[in-house]
Structure 1
């Protein structure tokens, strides 16, 4: 992405450092952005584009460098998206310290023991699952009479959004937050039921992989939420990242099977059998439009879709050194508060409906952390920003590897 200021002039400051001073006139050559980092300096060259070119105005922080110090001033600049531009990272961000949530959990509970009162299940989750599945099933009798054009439009706008909500209900259920830890089988059955409109059977297997994502966050083997090296190398341009986002549901579903396969359990076989039976009956009795409405909705709503922004916002490193980010905007109402992601990883056994209370009780731990204001902007920034891409994840060596080192 090349960028220009709405005209900037360069002046030499003391010590030969560059000061960037806004002025008026046509857009012309931008200055070299320099910022000091530990152990060295990094330079990013900002090109120039004509003011006559189509451009998008986006808010940015323009650095003013004086005597080795970087001060950030908000400016507006024009951005030209280059679809073939490569990402700047060539490897993941490797960490040799433990993930931050376990230690923060202990610290918060020591200071705010009343948070323990938020632990437990949320019966309301059960009723929401029944309501959302019922809505999807009833809507099929309307969808079968529509043209293919409207089937696809409604699949993206309505069916996909509801299916995504059901996916995040399954996320809650994987933590036994519907019926509690004393009734694990009831949680699994509810998850299989919530899985029906999604078409792809994943509810039972998701639980095992997801709990390891919590326990071993960033582990190069056990955390299958992290893209593979092959993904990061192949989808390393602006256009490539857009393609990767569109097909993200397939990568998300296939990655664990390829990189960390497990023997199927009896419950997984039941989940798959029930789902395939439902899919066959759906197609046989209600037709291809109804099947497409649900299947396409699941795929589209996990790709370039507003609610799918949480896949990127949760753990992709938008600020160096931070591996989990929260979002407190209105889309949390559709996603069981999955946006409260720092709070969720700190306290995975508190239902999503109560996570806002965690932030309210312990604001000193969350208000100062980097956070996202828009999932749509997260998707846009992920695709267009060369500093962000599949490599922008914090990884840790798998326990037991590289012992000789």
Structure 2
């Protein structure tokens, strides 16, 4: 249980990320893929329904015994809140209202953020665009674990702890790697969320607040859906930095598992990414892929060659224009 992994540094590469070239090649061969770009007209209704369901759940748990509050927090609230964070991921690409109504997307993301409990949608948008533009970029892409994470979480037990604590590392990592001055929208996001959280406590007491916040922490920690954090970019096979997952949990996660397809075409909403794979199947069928996020978590913990260091990292060339 205490065996140390062999890797003691990232996988440094000196090539550009593969997604831009593949996107150009696919579009040249299949120009009809451009028709898949644009907003998903169903997204705003799906997300609004999810928010409403959580509001009903807040009311439903207010008088439950604590053991049942915690049970439903993990089983139901964790799933729904993690799914909501992936809805916010979708919205960050302007897929709710389109690029012509970018501000509408930002405000809708703040609305979707409410049942998650912690204000993050506005900050996520800023950092996620860097992740796409500068994938693996040293000092820019905050999806890459810090050197402390790579150094310390290097045994099976520590990797298990690291996965359980994922939401804390995702929240704190930007402050270490690429701190940004908070924008007005981020401050607004925080203020609205605080008012909502306090209002929820005033209205129905502490149990719905615990259900909300603990659901977000547990749902993004040691939870089957959290396999996507590891599956997307951790280097299980040398030379491959992005991986797709084609299992049933895509139904709960807005097809975030179609991750090669998403990085190739970030302006195509998740509901249409399976069509990208179908049209350009020869580009994706032979890439490494997963069918189980639970198996990804198990393999990551048990394989002593894998650790938070198992990421492709690159020095950025020339001027990097950050928001």
Distance (Å, rounded) in 2 between the aligned partners of 1:262 and 1:322: 30
Query: Partners of 1:353 and 1:400 in 2: how far apart?
Result: 36
Distance 2:192 2:122 in 1: 12
Q: Which residue of 2 aligns with 1:145?
A: 63
Quick check: 1:246 aligned with 2:172?
Answer: no
The list of structure 1 runs, each at least 4 consecutive aligned residues, that deviate by more than 4 angstroms after superposition, is none
- Is 1:359 aligned with 2:283? no
Query: TM-score, length-normalised on structure 1?
Result: 0.78
Structure showing greater radius of gyration is 1
Greater percentage in helix? 2
Once the two structures are TM-superposed, the CA of residue 309 in structure 1 deviates from its matched residue by 0.5
Deviations 1:82-124 (A, max 9, x none): x211112111101110000000000000011010010100111
Partner Cα separation in structure 1 for residue 172 and residue 117 of structure 2? 15
In structure 1, the gaps of 5 or more residues are 1-82
1:400 Cα offset (Å): 5.0
Determine which structure has the larger strand proportion and give its number: 1
- Number of residue equivalences: 319
**SS at 1:355 equivalent:** helix
CA shift, 1:140, in A, is 1.3
1:237-386 residue pairs with structure 2 within 5 A?
237-386=155-304
SS in 2 for 1:183: helix
Deviations along 1:98-155, one digit per CA (max 9) or x if unpaired, are 0000000000000110100101001111001100000000111110111111111111
In the superposition, the TM-score normalised over structure 2's length comes to 0.97
In 2, distance between residues paired with 1:120 and 1:257? 33
Q: Which has the higher contact order (CA 8 A, sep 6+)?
A: 2
Aligned Cα RMSD in Å?
A: 0.9
- In the alignment, structure 2 segments of 5+ residues that lack a partner are none
Contact in 2 for aligned 1:170/1:191 (Cα 8 Å): yes
Q: In structure 2, which of residues 52, 75, 82 is the aligned counterpart of residue 164 of structure 1?
A: 82
Q: Deviations over 1:174-227 (max 9, x none)?
A: 010100000011101110000001111000110010011000001011110000
CA contact (8 A) 1:221 1:398 kept: no
Contact 2:140 2:177 in 1 (8 A): no
Mapping 1:1-400, distance limit 5 Å: 83-399=1-317
CA contact (8 A) 1:126 1:178 kept: yes
Cα separation, 1, equivalents of 2:188 and 2:73: 27
Does the CA contact (< 8 Å) of 1:326 and 1:372 recur in 2?
yes
